[in-house]
Amino acid sequence: MTTLEEAARLDAADELAAFRDRFVPIADESVVAYLDGNSLGRPLRATAERLQEVVAEQWGARLIRSWDERWLELPERIGDELGRVALGAAPGQTIVADSTSVCLYKVLRSAVALRPGRDEIVTDTANFPTDRFLVDSVAAELGLTVRWIESADGVAAVTGPRTAAVVLSHVDYRSAEIADLAGITRVVHERGGLAVWDLCHSVGSIPVALDADGADFAVGCTYKFLNAGPGAPAFLYVNARHHEAFGQPITGWMGAADTFGMAERYVPAPGIRRALSGTPPVLGMVGVQEGVALLAEAGIDRVRAKAVALGRWVLDLADEWLVPLGFTVASPREDARRGGHVTLRHPDAERLSRVLIDNGVLIDFRRPDGIRIGLSPLTTSFTEVRAAMDRIRELAA
C-alpha cells in the first residue's frame, strides 16, 4: 500500500504529527521534502523566541551578572537533562561542551590514559572520518597502534591484552546499521579495554541506555535529531566509575576546581565538570536546551516508533518504485537493526543527488554511491516522504 490515501492515513494516525507546528516553517516553496534532518535538524520556534529573550534580558539587561545567575551551570544542567531524556544516563555524567571532534579527543585521550601499558586502539574503516582521523592522531601522539576492523562485528576478533580503547559509532552514518552497544561493550570489558561510543546518529532518534549497557565514554552532536542548530555544542559522557581517575588533555579554566581562583596550577573540578575547557557557548546551548525539552515532551520511545514506521514506508516505496530503476537498499531491512535514515544505492548517485536537490528533494549524498534519506520523526510526515520518493522516481526514470 503506497498510495497517497495510505500516506494520509498514516499521517492521521501519527501521534507526533502536532509537533511539526513547533518548528519554523520552511519558507522556500520550492522544497518538496526536507530529508536531511540527520545532518541538520530544522529550527524550533521556541529556540528563536528563547534567543531573543537571552539576548534582550539575560545578556542585554543582566549583562555579566547572568554568569553567576544562570549561565555557569548550563553545561551540567542541560547535560543532566539530556542524559535523562535520551541517553539513559544518571545525573552528573553528561556535560555539554565543545564540538564532537574535541569531545572525542578528550575522552579518547582519557580512555587510553586509564589503561597504561596497553598500546592499541581499535576502530572500524567505515567509521565517520572525524572518528578515524582522531584515532590516527591520538595514536600518533602517544606512539600507539591502530587496529582496523571492517565493521563493529569484528571487535571480538582483534581485542585483547593490548587493547586500550575501542572507538565505534552506535549508528553507521552511511548504512544506518545499529551496533550492539551492550554486547560490544561487554566484549571490550572482558578483554580489559574501554568502550568509547559516538552517538551522533542515534541521540534523539533511538533510545540509548549508557548506564545499563556499561558504556565507559560517549560523545555526540546536538544539531541533528535534537535540532539545536548549526554548530551547536556537542556533549560528552563519562561513566561515574571513572570520575576519580578521569583526566582530560585540554585543561582550561572552566574545568578547574576553583574557576575564578586564578590559581598557579590546574586542579580539576570534581566529577564531570572537569571535562570542560573554555567558556561555555551560551547562545548555542539555548538550542540544545529547547531541543532536549521538546524530545522530553514527545518521548524517545514514540520518536523511535515513528522512525521505524517512516523507515518501513521508505522501503516499501523504494521496492515498488525505485528498485526497478536500478536502485538498491543499503540499509538493514530489519527494524531493530536500522537507525533513523535509509540509504539507497545507485550507480549514478552523485549526479542524481545534485538533480534531486535542485528539484526540491533535500537529501545527502554519501560516497561512493549512496543517497541518504533522513527521517526526522518530529518534522517528517509520511506524505512528505511519499512526495519525495515520487519525485526521485520521476527524475531517475
Residue numbers annotated as active site: 128, 198, 223-224, 372
Q: Which residue from 116, 125, 118 is spatially nearest to 168, judged by alpha carbons? A: 125
Give one DSSP letter per residue of 288-356, joined into a string: HHHHHHHHHHH-HHHHHHHHHHHHHHHHHHIIIIIGGGT-EE-S-SSGGGB-SEEEEE-TTHHHHHHHH
C-alpha cell at 72: 555557569
Q: For the purposes of burial, counting CB atoms within 10 Å of the CB of 122, is it exposed (0-12), middle (13-18) or buried (19 or more)? A: buried
C-alpha cell at 28: 522556500
Could you say which DSSP state residue 128 is in?
A: -
- Report d(CA 62, CA 55) in Å as an integer: 10
Contact indicator for 207, 88 with CB cutoff of 8 Å: yes
- Which residues contact residue 32 at a Cβ distance below 8 angstroms, ignoring those fewer than 6 apart? 359, 360, 361, 384, 387, 388, 391
